[in-house]
Amino acid sequence: MALAEAKDWRPKLVLASASPRRLALLQQIGVEPDALLPSDLDESPIKGERPKALARRLAREKAERALTVLKSRDDLKGAFIVAADTVVARGNRILPKPEHVEEGAQCLRLLSGRGHRVYTGLCVVTPKEGFRERLVETRVSFKHLSRQDIEAYLASGEWRGKAGGYAVQGRAGAFVTKLVGSYSSVVGLPLYETVALLTGEGYPVQMSWLNAV
């Protein structure tokens, strides 16, 4: 089969996110979404909600909202949907996705010199509207952050809107002394699990890699 024909045959795929990091991770494995369908969700935890439960719930809700939109669009009917949400926690304390400097500083002070956990909920919806879900847990340890470290990182602006107030793929990578689990999950999308779910449901990820060459 010619590559052009293979591209035409490939099922469509929707990424239920506006995150440039998740898009870049999919592109890294040769998967180019046909559409981005982000959801404007209130990501606040429900009272008493644990970090794992929050990550699972938000990933599922993002997928469900994308599915609702997808049903109204003839050009996307029958597409796969990939949705994810990442939560950073110290114990059962869920750290925010800070928008203000003081919030960002508080996150960095909490993580300084300590270990924390990053949970990414993943939800894939099949063309037959089956939901396939995974939760990926990664343990991360930070070095002790000096006042200068924190001030310089806050000045970079990389922390804004990121779970736990940092982006491991950026300057904060220099803070990490140990990471056990999935690096791509900390960035925002666990690639191993994403590929496993997609290929298990018949999405030709291997063919996508050929198409990307």
Find the catalytic residue in 34, 40, 74, 85. Answer: 85
Report, in angstroms and rounded to the nearest whole number, the Rg of the chain calculated over CA atoms.
18
Please give the distance of CA 160 from its chain centroid, rounded to a whole number.
16
Task: From 115, 162, 165, select the one nearest 140 (Cα to Cα).
Answer: 115
100 burial level (CB within 10 Å; 0-12, 13-18, 19+): exposed
- Which residues have C-beta within 8 Å of that of residue 196, sequence separation ≥ 6? none
Determine whether 42 is an active site residue. Answer: no
State the Cα–Cα distance between residues 86 and 166, nearest whole angstrom: 12
State the Cα–Cα distance between residues 6 and 208, nearest whole angstrom: 9
DSSP for 24-75, written as a single string: HHHHHTT---SEE-------PPPTT--HHHHHHHHHHHHHHHHHHHHHT-GG
Q: Which residues are catalytic?
A: 85
